[in-house]
Structure formats: C-alpha cells, structure tokens
C-alpha cells in the first residue's frame, strides 16, 4: 500500500508515491495547468498511470495559500487563483476516488523535515522558508500549529523597525536583489539572489552590506522567536539556504545578539533543511498519515 503525494506550485506539480514509512517509490513532475478543469485532469492522469503499478490508499496534497483541511477549503491568495474559496478537498476526493488530506506547502516542508529530515529527533521545531518572502511553520509535538487564523508561522509579517519594515522586506531573496539593484542604479529587477551572492564573493561592497543586513535581520527574528516559541531547532529552507555558509552566518549574528543581551542563556540552534523539494512531498504524506490513523 502507498500514498500518492502532490506538491502543487505555480509552475509545476511534483508528485510521488510513498510508503507509510517514508520510502519514495517513484516521483516526477508535470506543468501546472492554468485552469481548474485541466488541473483536475492532470491529477487524474497522474493517478491513473501510477495506480497500474501501486495500490494507492490516499492522496496527500501540499498546496499554496491558507489551507484549511478540516473545512476542505483554501483561503488566502496564491499564484493559482482557481484553487481558492470553494470545497476543493471534497472535489479532489471525488475526482481521484481516494481519501484526501491537504496542507499548506510551507507546513508540509516543516512536517517533512520533522518526520524524516534534519529535525526527526525533535518534537518542537520552527521552520523558515527564505524566498520571494519569508514564510514558515511552527511544529509542536510533531503537529503543525496553525493558529486561530491559519497564520501560524507567517514570520514574514514581523515588523523589524519603526518604519514598518517587515521581515520579508528585510530578509527575502527578492528584497535582497531589489535592494542591491537599486543601490547600483539598476532596474529593481536587474539582479536575482544568486547574482547578489556572486557579487559579494567578488568583494562588492554594496552586495556585501546587503547580505550582512539580511543575515542580521534573520538572526534578530530567530532570537525573538526562540524566546516566544522556545523550539528545539530552527530549520532554514528555500533555495538560498542550500549555500553551505548560510546557517553559519545567521548563527554568527545570533551570537552577537547574545553577547549584548546578558540575561539570555538559550542559544537558538539553526540548521539547513535536509530534503529540499522532497520535504513538501514527505510532509504531505506525513500529514495524511496523521489525519488517517
């Protein structure tokens, strides 16, 4: 028996078949359709092609937006407006003829790392995703803490100064690239995050300053979250986190903060995510298993 997992993104839908102990039997991806009917049809085709070989007991979904599995509806907004604000969970079950469980994509990534990844020995974990914004998740006792308004883990909204600068404004890769582009007199979209880090490595002063400010903002946020949530571990995800020194540089600023705040005795433990894109699929399956014991 196996679970079919889908990680739905704006440009692609990744899928896998996974056992209940986390073994990936197969995986692949297809382009994300631009309308709901084609979306359903693509999922059906994937399911039918895999059901020939595997006995599927359910479908697990990682999805963007404010995913409410209990209500079966996705609120909020995303790059896929056609998945929002109607009973999509019921529709998916009817289309695929399988029990369905669904969860937000960042929450799935956190669950994947908590189940089979770098945080598998931990009960309480904070997961941060650094990308176009700063998102994440709070895991308590191996369960996602959603919050009253499904905004648990939306760290990007944190205010970093008296000007209303948010953590997403201060520490996302998009914000980093825009800051450096504008400082160099370029169009704000002239550079991306990889470009900025490449410039920093050549000794570019503007890029170096912006990258250091990004590390510092993340360190401040993590320090504050540590003393609010008190997790065992912080896991950093997103493409930029794959840089070998990314967590190390955040830790450097955390130690600087602790040197100034003499009463603080707990040092946040920050590590990079282990499973990359597979974490979303793993977390979707773990969410399915939790909801279908």
Specify the pLDDT at position 170: 95
Of 214, 40, 49, 69, which is closest to residue 131 (Cα–Cα)?
214
CATH class of 120-272: alpha beta
Specify the pLDDT at position 281: 97
Beta carbons of 275 and 117 less than 8 angstroms apart: yes
**Cα separation, 51 vs 56, whole angstroms:** 6
Task: Tell me how crowded residue 247 is: count the other CB atoms within 10 A of its CB.
Answer: 20
Convert 39-102 into a string of H (helix), E (strand) and C (coil): HHHHHHHHHHHHHCCCCEEEEEEEECCEEECCCCEEECCCCCHHHCCCCHHHHHHHHHCCCEEE
**Cα separation, 128 vs 234, whole angstroms:** 7
Specify the pLDDT at position 277: 83
Specify the pLDDT at position 150: 87
Task: Give per-residue pLDDT as tens, 83-131.
Answer: 999 999 999 999 999 999 999 999 999 999 999 999 999 999 999 999 8
Buried residues in 179-206 as b, exposed as e (16+ CB within 10 A): bbbeeeeeeeeebbbeebbebbeeebeb
Specify the pLDDT at position 238: 87
Specify the pLDDT at position 60: 98
Is beta strand 24-31 parallel, antiparallel or unpaired with respect to 12-18?
antiparallel
Beta carbons of 12 and 32 less than 8 angstroms apart: yes
Work out the burial of residue 123: count CB atoms within 10 Å of its CB; fewer than 13 is exposed, 13-18 middle, 19 or more buried.
Answer: middle
Question: For the chain, where do the domains classified as CATH 3.30.420.40 start and end?
Answer: 2-110+277-291, 120-272
Specify the pLDDT at position 241: 83
Is the domain defined by 2-110+277-291 classed in CATH 3.30.420.40? yes
Of 126, 145, 142, 132, which is closest to residue 222 (Cα–Cα)?
126
**pTM exceeds cut of 0.85:** yes
Is beta strand 2-8 parallel, antiparallel or unpaired with respect to 66-68?
unpaired
**Cα separation, 27 vs 18, whole angstroms:** 9
**Cα separation, 88 vs 36, whole angstroms:** 10
Length of the chain: 293
User: Which parts of the chain register pLDDT below 70?
Assistant: none
């Amino acid at each position: 028996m196996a679970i079919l997992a889908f990680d739905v993104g704006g440009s692609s839908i990744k899928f896998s078949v996974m056992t209940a102990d986390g073994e990936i039997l197969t995986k692949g991806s297809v382009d994300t359709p631009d309308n709901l009917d084609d979306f359903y049809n693509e999922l059906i085709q994937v399911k039918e092609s895999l059901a020939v070989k595997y006995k599927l007991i359910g479908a697990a979904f990682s999805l963007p937006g404010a995913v409410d599995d209990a209500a079966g509806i996705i609120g909020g907004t995303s790059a896929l407006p056609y998945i929002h604000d109607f009973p999509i969970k019921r529709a998916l079950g009817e289309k695929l003829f399988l029990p369905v469980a669904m969860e937000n994509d960042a929450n799935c990534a956190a669950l994947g790392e908590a189940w089979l990844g770098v945080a598998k020995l931990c009960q309480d974990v904070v997961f941060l995703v650094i990308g176009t914004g700063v998102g994440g998740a709070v895991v308590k006792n191996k369960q996602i803490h959603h919050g009253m308004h499904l905004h648990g883990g939306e760290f990007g909204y944190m205010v970093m100064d008296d000007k209303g600068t948010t953590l997403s404004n201060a520490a996302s890769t998009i914000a980093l690239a825009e800051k450096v582009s504008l400082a160099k007199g370029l169009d704000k979209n002239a550079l991306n995050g990889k470009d900025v880090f490449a410039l920093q490595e050549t000794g570019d002063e503007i890029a170096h300053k912006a990258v250091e400010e990004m590390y510092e903002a993340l360190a401040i946020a993590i320090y504050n979250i540590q003393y609010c949530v008190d997790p065992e571990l912080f896991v950093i995800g997103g493409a930029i986190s794959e840089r070998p020194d990314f967590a190390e540089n955040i830790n450097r600023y955390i130690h600087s903060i602790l040197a100034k705040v003499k009463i603080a005795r707990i040092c946040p433990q920050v590590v990079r995510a282990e499973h990359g894109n597979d974490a979303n699929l793993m977390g979707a399956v773990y969410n399915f298993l939790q909801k279908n014991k």
